[in-house]
Amino acid sequence: MAEFLGLCQCAGGGFGGGPGQLAHLAPTYAAVMALAELGGGAALAVVDRPAAARFLAQRAVPPRCGGGFTLCEGARPRCARPQARWQARETSAAVSW
């Protein structure tokens, strides 16, 4: 599974729904969480962490502009719910960016 997910990571750091697909926030979240659940250095080494961090930073909408995230390049911002913020903090702590 880790090898397949590695094929889904785009050069820009996010993960697509399959190899060669465009990066999107939803499969990026799912891929990182799946790799975290698999655990171990080999599974987590699949994630290009600097590139993934840049992808997430590019998706973030500043609070002065309403906050939240865009799902993919060129998408409208989506509201960040308190639950999503909590999950983002937990994910960040689990993966040790």
pTM greater than 0.85: no
| Cβ within 8 Å of residue 29, ≥6 positions away | 91
**Total structural domains in the chain?**
1
Give the type of residue at 47.
V
pLDDT given at position 85 = 52
End-to-end CA distance of the chain: 21
Range(s) of the domain holding residue 13 = 2-95
Reported as a pLDDT band with limits 50, 70 and 90, residue 97 is very low
Quick: pLDDT tens for 2-21: 999 999 999 999 999 999 99
